[in-house]
Structures are given as C-alpha cells and as structure tokens.
Structure 1
Amino acid sequence: MKENEVSHMKKIGFLSFGFWQPNNSLVTTAQQSYQESVELAVEAEKLGVDGAWFRVHHFADQIGTPYPLMAAIAAKTSRIEIGTGVVDMRYENPYMMAENVMSTDVLSQNRVQLGVGRGSPEQVEDGWKYWGYDYSEEEIKDVARERALKFLDLIKGRPFAKPNAQPMFPQAPGLRRLEPFSPTLPQHIWWGAGSQATAVWAAQHGMNLQSSTLVNYESNEPFHVQQAKQLRAFKAAWAEAGHDFAPRTLVTRSIMPIVNDLDRQYFAEGTQTQDEVGYLAYHQNPTIFGKMYVGEVDQLVKELGEDEAIKEADTILITVPSTLGVAYNVHILQVIMQDIAPALGWK
C-alpha cells in the first residue's frame, strides 16, 4: 500500500456490554448474560467475524472482570480475537492484572486484544476506593496512566523480583519475572482514547488505538471527521516514535440494518440518527457522540462509505444489543458480514 493510502480492508468484531435486566429484556440474569456472551462469540466465529469484544464496568448489571469470560470463549473457539473495551485502570493492580491477562492469553493461544484506559463514569462514586485505592477523581486520572505503563512494562517479561534464598521449587539463579510469560501480548494492548492528545500519548507508549462512539468535541466538524483526525494524529505520532511493530486502529459503530419487520419494530423509530454533543460527569469540556447507523442495506452502505474514521481504521467493532438475545444479534452480524461488509470492500 502506498504512503497515505487508506485500506478498505477491515477486521470486523462485535462489542457487547453484556447487560442483563430482570424486566424488559430477553437476558434476565448474570448467568444468562455470561453464557450468551460465549454463545454469541461461537456463532460470530462461524460467520467469519474477527473479534468478540466486551465492555467492562463495575457495580453494574453487566460484564465485570473480563478474564473468566475471555477464557471461556477461548475454550469454545479457535480463531476469533477476544477483546475488551476497556479495562478500567482506576481499579487495577498492574501486577495481578498482568498475571491474569498473560494467563488468559496463553489459554487463548495469543488471541487476547486488551483494551485499557481511564474508564467512563461508573455506577458509584469513587468506586476504586472499595478496591483499596484512596485517590480523588482528579488524582486517579494520572494514576490510571501510571498503572497502564507499569502493566506494559510487566508484560514485556523483564525480570525484576529478587529470588528467595530458599525457594519452594528449584529455579535458575537471577531475578524473576511474572509467569506465564506471553511474548506477543505487548503488541495486543490498546488504549481507549477520547482526544487527539490522548491518542498521541498512546502512540508514544506503543499501544494500539481504540476510539469509541464518543470523542472530545474539539471542532465544529461531524463526529466521524473529528475521529478521523484523532486516528491520523495517532499514526503520525507512531511513525515518529519508531516502534518495531505496525499499530492497529479501531473505531466502534452502532449499525442496525432494517431488513424485516422485527428490525423495524426495534429500530425504525426513536434511535439516535444524528451526532449529539453533551457532557460526561467528569469532563469539563463537551464530548460528541456518534450517531447510530439505521436503515436498509443500500442506505447503510452509502452512509458508512462516507465515514472518514472508518476509512482510517483497520478494525471496526459493531455494538450489539445484548439484551435482545443471541439469535437476534447473530441476525445483525450476518447481514453485516454477508451484505454490508462485501459491498464496502471490508472483506
């Protein structure tokens, strides 16, 4: 590919929040949500979907710690990437996290794609304090980045721990690293960025870029244009940093094809079909939320083909309405994989 040329080929994954709700939902319990998350990953792999990705939120009726779920998916699949978007570093101990993630990556045969970041507003105030971290919201912003960098250092396998003079098991002399070591994992870490400055920071530290359905409102341009600028800034900073592997960039989209009456019942009305500007709880500056893409296949192909950020990214995640059950989400993914993706040249 020539310099500055953008590839249309994409890795396509789904992103699930793993909600469960006692009422007004086909998924009513945590057990059902976790089980259906595994089932959806299995069915998605059959369709040729490249990734099964899950949001991580604490104190909520949805997926929490992701590692047991990722391991369960790994046991039932053979090819699909297993990702997060994002693990909230405000809650994480880098040492324990590194051991959990490396173990999961070994079990999955190196299919983990771990998205990390500061996280989003939670269900409780200063929830990380219940994890034993006594920081204010302002302090935790820097702490989250520091923990991410410590985690990155740990998974690179550098020995650091002084060995016991009388260990329980025989071992070679010298400092010890965390085990099990997974040598490819450092190339599979993503930072969830909401601004161009944060995207540049991620590039400088060798993390892939994960950009969601909202970014900081940094100009008066449409969401997809602002997001495309974020991705280009990341790529430029990566090239300048001179890392020894090629980066990946990811965007998330809500795509709801209307091909039957049930689709119309769920999504033909009342959906967010325009960008929206608003404020998150801890943001002083406004953010812009990307619209949902809702319509018949031909309309979606046209609109998605004009999305500049999708053109810039090599990976696109499709948010799925997990509370509508496995069968309906398989239907959405099937239409995207068989009708929309080929028409756009994504596959």
Structure 2
Amino acid sequence: MPSTPRPLRKLGFLTMGLFDEHDPGAGHEATLGLIELGERLGFDSAWVRHRHLQYGISSPVALLAAATQRTRRIELGTAVTPLGWENPLRLAEDLATVDVLSGGRLNPGVSVGPPMHYDRVQQALYPDTAQAEDFGYDRVRRLLDLVRGEAATDFEGTEGFEVFSRRVQPHSPGLSGRMWYGGGSLRSARWAGEHAMNLLTSSVVKAEESADFERIQLSHVRAFRAAHPDGERARVSQGLVVIPTDSATPAQRAKYEEYALRRTPRTRSPQGPARLMFAPDLVGTSAEIAERLHAHAAFREVDEVAFALPFTFEHEDYVQILTDMAVKLGPELGRQPSA
C-alpha cells in the first residue's frame, strides 16, 4: 500500500448529537458518552456540530463545557459554529470560559453566511436589526480580535466595588491559535490562511473550478497554505464520512451500505444553485478504506482528520464504528492510538 506524504498525526471524529424531542437528556448523555469513549480509545479530538431549531445539538459550547469535566486529554471542537447565529463578544466569553475549564483543549471552528432559512427565523433572531446584520468575514474578524485579547471597550478600572476589564474575560492566551475556519470555497480557504486560522475541510465543497471533488478540495488545501504565515506547516483537518465495518455484524454492514448507496447520487455532479459537490461515503474494512484514502488527492496532503459519523444510526453502531476507527483504521493509516 502506498504511504501518504504526510503521515496521519491526529485522529478525530465528528458527531451530530441527535436526540428525541420527548427525551432530549438521553441523546445529550449519549453524545457525552461517545466523547468519553473516544478518549478511552485514544482519539485525539472529538467534534460536535450545531443544529439550530432541529433535533441535534443547538448549543455545542454548553455540551463541551460538560465534556471538559468528564475527560482529561481529548481535544474538543465545534465543526462548525455558524456565526450568523452568534454575537461575537458573547461567543468569545463562552469559548474562553470552556477553554479554561478544559485546560486548553478547545478547538472552535466557525463559518460565515446568513442563518439557514433566514427569512423565516430573522424576526426571532434579530427582530430590530435583521436587515442591518453583517454575515460576512467581518464577523469572524470581530471574534478573532476578541479571542486574541484586543480591547472590547475603552473603559477599565474600578467603579465602587466592581472591577472592569478592557478585554474579554477570562482570557485564554492559547485559544487564538486553535481557531478553525470551516471553508468549502477557494475564497474561504484563502481568507482563513490570510488570517492565520486553521482550516476545516469537509465532505462538501463548491464546484467552482472543477466538478472533481478531490481536485477541488486539494486546491483549497494548497490555496490555504499558500496564504498562511506558517505555509506548509499550517494545520488542515479533513472531515469525510468514514464507516469501517471490521467488527460490524452482517445487519450493520447491510445498513451502512444501504445508507451510503442512498447518498451516492448527489456525489456525481454539482448540486443546486451553489453547485455543491459531495464526497462519497467510505464504507468497508479499514484496509479497504485506508487504500482509498491513500489514493485521495486531498488526504495525501493533510495529517489530521475528523471523520464524520453518519446522521441517523443507533448508539451501538457508533460504538462499533469508533472502535474500528481507533483500533483498525488509525493503524492502517500509520497512526497508533494515544496513550
């Protein structure tokens, strides 16, 4: 099997954290359990994704705050937080607080753009400023400045018995180096590099210069590093949907293959007005998946991954998939589980 130019250094996973509307506690507890399992299995990172007004995690930062108290080593990330739903000042406070609680393990990933279905939600989200809100890169700049400790106000000092700071408190000095941008376009990849962020690239990209997913994603990785102050050392994490079947039962294998088959048609050509290209889900033994990844043009230039778990499987399925990822797939990709 050919080796990759960049041996896999960090193995992570991403979960949606789905729950039952009538018993949301069980779903949130199951997600925390998967993060704990990930740490025991030796994963380097666990990531969660926002799902506003849906039956998935709406407040990943709150959930990760709980995870900080149940883990000691694994890095915790958001992939990604859509900033259209957030106030950068308040988010900076929450991120710094959770980073302090974690001992410096938080990896916030963010993206820009109007909130999904903005025409339907704007009156609830921004009743007085809906038309004035800026959902572009300036929103990320504001967050980065605040996380880095730049002044949020021109006042500091004591008023009566209360002491005030010019910058967001708590301040977590290392957090700014662990800020990630979730980019699916060439412009976003370059912007993230120019602003010294890390890059999260997933199973969805925009078909701008090609209709070949691997070629598009590779161009994003290279454009990001060309614009980044750290050049070839700039961090990129890839987030494909990967389903190893080494220890799966026959019923599980059939379910996984049927899931991937239903999603395959969208991978053949650009989808919708945005011309989105989707990567095929990778289902098979760890050896088979590793062979496909070693041949993947973009994977060959990254050394970190956050493999995405499928959306609607059962908890026991996720346990089997994570276990095979850590015990079988990781070593096939040249990485040994962390102690």
**TM-score, scaled to structure 2:** 0.87
* Residue of structure 1 in register with 2:182 after alignment: 192
Map 1:1-347; keep pairs closer than 5 Å: 6-21=5-20, 29-118=23-112, 122=116, 125-132=119-126, 134-135=129-130, 142-163=134-155, 167-169=159-161, 171=163, 176-238=166-228, 242=229, 246-259=233-246, 260-271=249-260, 272-273=263-264, 275-279=267-271, 284-321=273-310, 323-347=312-336
CA distance in structure 2 between the aligned counterparts of 1:76 and 1:154, rounded to whole angstroms: 28
Task: After superposing the two structures, state which structure 1 stretch, 53-62 or 6-15, moved more.
Answer: 6-15
The Cα of 1:199 is off from its aligned counterpart by 0.4
**Structure 1: where are the runs of 5+ without partners?**
23-27
Residue 202 of structure 1: CA displacement? 0.9
Mapped contact 2:252–2:317 kept (Cα < 8 A):
no
Change (3 A) 1:96 1:32: same
Superimposed CA distance per residue, residues 80-129 of structure 1 (whole angstroms, 9 cap, x where no aligned partner):
11101111111111111111110011011111100000268736645344
Identity %: 29
The alpha-carbon distance between structure 1 residues 323 and 162, as it changes in their structure 2 partners (threshold 3 A), is same
Matches of 1:265 and 1:215, distance apart in 2: 28
> What SS does the aligned partner of 2:108 have?
strand
Structure 1 distance, partners of 2:232, 2:292, is: 32
**Superposed displacement of residue 162, structure 1:** 3.4
Give the AA of the match of 1:267: Y
Distance 1:323 1:66 in 2: 18
Structure 2: distance between partners of 1:126 and 1:313: 39
Give 3-state SS (helix, strand or coil) of 1:251's partner: strand
Matched-pair contact (CA < 8 Å) for 2:82–2:115: no
Q: CA deviation at 1:166?
A: 5.4
SS in 1 for 2:14: strand
Work out the CA distance in 2 between the residues paired with 1:167 and 1:256.
Answer: 57
The alignment of Structure 1 onto Structure 2 pairs a total of residues equal to 327
AA paired with 1:185?
L
8 Å Cα contact 1:258-1:268 kept in structure 2:
no
After superposing on structure 2, the runs of 4+ consecutive aligned residues of structure 1 that deviate more than 4 Å are 243-246
- Give 5+ residue unaligned stretches, structure 2: none
